[in-house]
Structures are given as structure tokens and as C-alpha cells.
Amino acid sequence: MLSYRHAFHAGNYADVLKHLVQVEILRYLQQKDKPLVYIDTHAGAGLYALDSAAAEKTAEYRDGIGRLQGCDWPALQPYMNVVAQLSERDGQSNLYPGSPAIAQALLRPQDRAQLYELHPSDHVLLSELMQRDRRIRVQQSDGFQGLIASLPPPERRGLVLIDPPYEIKSDYDTVVSTLVKAHKRFATGIYALWYPVVERTRIDKLEQALRNSGIPRIQLFELGLTADTDGRGMTSAGMIVINPPWTLKTTLDELLPALAKQLGQGQGVWRSVELAGEA
């Protein structure tokens, strides 16, 4: 399992994939003027200093966002523009945004966000970051339970990002049961589930459970620095998207090979799979 505080991992290749997907989905939803809701079940602190002691201890960002500076791939630019926009704030520089800060930057006046963060220290930081924004509500509570209680939203359209730490093995079962419950309440929502590849057999079971769930329209995307190993640690990370925008797979099928090559320095790997088609 992972020992997870996001400050140690901010800006790594897993963040690149997760936030690239997040930006693509929010931009797609905003092609219509109708309001949307963004729900983040495990929001974290929201903004991270890449020159902090925590970030420098692992320096994972160097094989993530650090390798993308200067890449002028058009499909990557919306994500890179948001990261650049948020790299300085309140006199600080060299910042990397978490998913709440990215959502805040992209939300329109008619949109809103619901953020859950259970960790006391991260909740305080997140609350301070969002306290002046009336579109955003921050709660210190279990994100799985909070999500179900908040559905269906009045907007009837939006993105739910589920990004648990997977510090306990039961999280893999909990994400499936939560998605099934959430989909029954809010079938038109877009759900984006992040997961780490630490043990491939566990991911195989996760994929099969979602295939067996009866939920239609599911796509999976993975990015890694190296092929799977029997050693300790995360080799890849993935995003499973329910009700994906029709443009998402085309965009990621273009970007993932280039990202795997650039971030993995020739050793990178990627996957793009349709887990479930139309009902």
C-alpha cells in the first residue's frame, strides 16, 4: 500500500495524467452555458510548493511536470496553461496546483464545487485557500459518504473526482461500491477515478469489478515510467472515467504515447482501454 501525503508526490507523472483528464473534462462540460458541479472526494491541501522539503525529499515532480517544460504539443496546452497560471500565488512561486486549485481556476460564475478532505492539516490549508470563494464549499468529512449524500445535484451535470490514498486495501472495494451507488443517484454525471498501480493483480480485480457492475460507458487510461515489477512502489497510475466526453479518448490516445516517452525517458508505458460500451 501507499503511505500518502500529496505534498511528497505533487507534480509527478500520476498528477500529470490525473490533472490532464480533469482539465479536459471540465473544458468539455463548459462548452454549454448551463451550470455544473465539481465534486472532489479527497481534495488534499490544494496547492503545493515544489521547493518545499516534502517535495524535494522525493523530487517526483522532476519526472513529471518538470519534464514537460518547453513541450509545445497543442493537445497538452490547456493543462500546461492552467499549471502556469497557478504557479505563483500570494508571493509564492514554483507552485504546483492540486485538483481543487485547478477546478477553482476553471470554474465559471455559474458553477460550484464541493470539496471533501478528512486530514486535519490538509483541511486547514484547503479551507484557507478557498475561504474567499463563494462558489466553493469545503468540508472535513469522509469523501465517499459526502459524495453519496450530495447526489443528485440540482445542476444534473458535472464532474466527480475520486482520488483516495489507497492506504488501506479496502479502498479498492470501496471505490467500486461508491461508484455504483453514485451512478444510481446521478447517472448523467462524469466520474473520474484515480488509482495507483502497486500490485497489478489488484488493478485487474478493480477493472473486472467495474465491468461486472453494469455501469455503461467506462474508459481506462494509464501512464507509467516503467513496466510493472514485483518490487515495492508505484510503477504506473491510471484514470477510469465513467461517461467520458467523446473527445477524451482521441486526445489521450494522441498524448499518452508522447507522455510515456517524455516522462519515462524511453522506458515509459501507457494503456487506453474501453472497459464498457454503451448500455
CB environment 45-75: b (16+ within 10 A), e (fewer): bbbbbbeeeebeeeebbebbbebbeeeeeee
User: 101 and 83 in contact (C-beta within 8 Å)?
Assistant: no
CB environment 160-194: b (16+ within 10 A), e (fewer): bbbbbbbeeeebbeebbebbeebbeebeebbbbbb
Rounded CA-CA distance 115/79 in Å is 21
| Strand, coil or helix: 184 | helix
Name, in order, each residue with C-beta under 8 angstroms of 131's C-beta and a sequence gap of 6 or more.
none
Single-letter residue type at 240? I
163 in active site: yes
User: What are the phi and psi torsion angles at 142 (to 5°)?
Assistant: -65, 120
User: 226 and 251 in contact (C-beta within 8 Å)?
Assistant: no
C-alpha cell recorded at residue 108 = 465559471
**Considering 15, 40, 163, 171, which one is annotated as catalytic?**
163
Which residues form the catalytic set? 163
